[in-house]
Amino acid sequence: MTLIKRKITGNRLRRSGKWFFVYAIMILLVAFTALPLVYLVSTAFKPLHELYVFPPKFLVQQPTLRNFSNLLLSLSSSAVPFTRYLFNSVVITILTVGGTIFVSTLGAYGLVKHNPPGAKRLFDIVIAALMFSPYVTQIPRYLVINAMGLINSYAALILPSIAVAYNFFLIKQFVEQFPNDLLEAARIDGAGEMKIYWSIVMPSLKPAWATLLVMTFVSTWNDYFSPLIYLNSQALKTLPLALNTISGGGSSIGRAGAVAAATMLMTIPTVIVFTLMQRKVMETMMHSGIKE
């Protein structure tokens, strides 16, 4: 939306007197949905006695940084340096997110705009796969990954998460809206297929892949089960697993605070990625020379 457009909307709503009303409702709704986030931050700053008070208090009464210093302490005592877990998580997340965006956009563009023979059949298969319960494919998938000798490697986590039916379907829906005339024009101008994909299709698909990026980032970054199943080596483990080691590793009750602090820190990158990507989604229309 352009700025001018927004202004018009604003004025119109204000004139009809609904402006304030709309905000009030949205703030109420959003205050409610934001509760877990508030709880997360609040708990991270709770002193020990507040963590175990009954009935539990939602908000922290006497905030403290003890939890964070405890976290540092328990991290420095672990055999594998904490930065190693961070590195694993970052590498796996970046490669998975980048990989899925690349193959999904390229594949969806190829399928919709080049319409190869059997395109409809292929898409039907993707949709069908989307509807098959992931729980029951876990075990066959483990067998496949095991047979390929990928157990205990980054690849075991990254490769299966690249070509996801859900992601392909999402991007394909956006590609359908892309005007064919523009592609024709670019071809007449002599642009190669990869050039068209990279410098015409991708920029205009920004809302789609920015959204996909957020979703994949959240699910990969927080994924607990795949690393648990596919990795045995301590040096390959990711942050969610490390977090679990902190909480279960020691018997001391003080760890609960450290876990709360770690959970909060884990959430920060997600919030940053979300905010950056939403900004990107918004930018699309501001300089859209591309749309019809």
Site for other proteins in 11-40 (CB under 8 A): 12-13, 22-23, 26, 29-31, 33-37, 39-40
* Residue window 128-167: x/- pattern of binding to other proteins, with contact defined by CB under 8 A: xxxxxxxxxxxxxx-xxx-------------xx-xxxxx-
Residue 235 binds other proteins (CB under 8 A) = no
Residue 278 binds other proteins (CB under 8 A) = yes
Site for other proteins in 104-133 (CB under 8 A): 104, 106-111, 114, 116, 120, 122-133
Contact 171, 205 (CB under 8 A): yes
Site for other proteins in 44-103 (CB under 8 A): 55-56, 58, 102-103
Q: Which is nearer to other proteins, 114 or 187 (CB)?
A: 114
Site for other proteins in 171-200 (CB under 8 A): 173-174, 176-177, 193, 197
Contact 157, 226 (CB under 8 A): yes
DSSP secondary structure letters along 33-99: HTHHHHHHHHHHT--HHHHT-SSPPSS-SS--SHHHHHHHHHHHTSSS-HHHHHHHHHHHHHHHHHH
Spatial distance between the Cα atoms of 170 and 164, rounded to a whole number of angstroms: 10
DSSP secondary structure letters along 184-201: HHHHHTT--HHHHIIIII
Site for other proteins in 203-232 (CB under 8 A): 207-208, 210-211, 214-215, 218, 222
Q: Side-chain half-sphere of 203: how many Cα atoms within 13 Å?
A: 14
Q: Which is nearer to other proteins, 81 or 225 (CB)?
A: 225
* Residue window 244-263: x/- pattern of binding to other proteins, with contact defined by CB under 8 A: -------------------x
For the CB of residue 264, give the shortest distance to other proteins in the complex, in Å: 9
Q: Side-chain half-sphere of 15: how many Cα atoms within 13 Å?
A: 6
For the CB of residue 283, give the shortest distance to other proteins in the complex, in Å: 9
Angle at 93 between CA 227 and CA 208, to 5 degrees: 130
